[in-house]
Structure 1
Amino acid sequence: MSKPTEPLTEEYLDELRATYAGTESAEGRIIVALLDELETVDDALHASEDEVESLRAKVARLRQKISPKAPSASLSKTPSGKWAVRWRVSDGLRHSQSFPNRRDAEHFRADLLGRWNGGAR
């Protein structure tokens, strides 16, 4: 068995395990126990790296959700027969207001859009 010049490789550790696996000496049992412990720590490290990557992706999705969005407004008829304008402003807050007819709702929506677009309708 040659001494590695690089950090411990899996091949070198496998070679150590094969060399000492069946030995009865105290040194051999200690080396095998240390190799087992090293494998357990290595597995935990890889699991932690996967978890960190998963958490990074989750943070990115949450940042996307809370990032400022362009203001928007929609118009829809409610079950009661009124017309509702629903809008979301750049900070993400949602609002709504209902109107007795579509024309009033459309005018309100146009006014909102005009204010957001610098006065143009």
Structure 2
Amino acid sequence: MARYFTDEHEWIEIDGDTATVGITDYAQSQLGDIVFVEVPDEGAQLTKGGDAAVVESVKAASDVYSPVTGTVIEGNQQLEEDPALVNTAPEGEGWFFKLTIADASELEGLMDEAGYKDFVAGL
């Protein structure tokens, strides 16, 4: 499975035409203790760069953007009950949503892991 990153600190993991999306470890560390997460509903139509989810911490509220255009097939309901999963496993069990990719060419502008590490190092 290929994993890509955005400059808004989302990660996207690709498995065929399905993608799993979450926020990076860097993003959760900047937010601090996560107290609330709102994920998109199944069937929601998302556009690349558009608002997809909301994450709130003791420091701030932040939007999570969709790295690609597609249709949500699942929101991570565990996050509503245990938003701290985003802190403990941001790039694993703390994923936000899964979607069916509408246009795989939208992945072309995203960073690979090495590129993302360089990007974060420059912040």
State the TM-score bracket (shorter-chain normalisation): under 0.3
Alignment TM-score, normalising by the size of structure 2: 0.25
Specify the structure having the higher radius of gyration (Cα): 1
Q: Greater strand share, 1 or 2?
A: 2
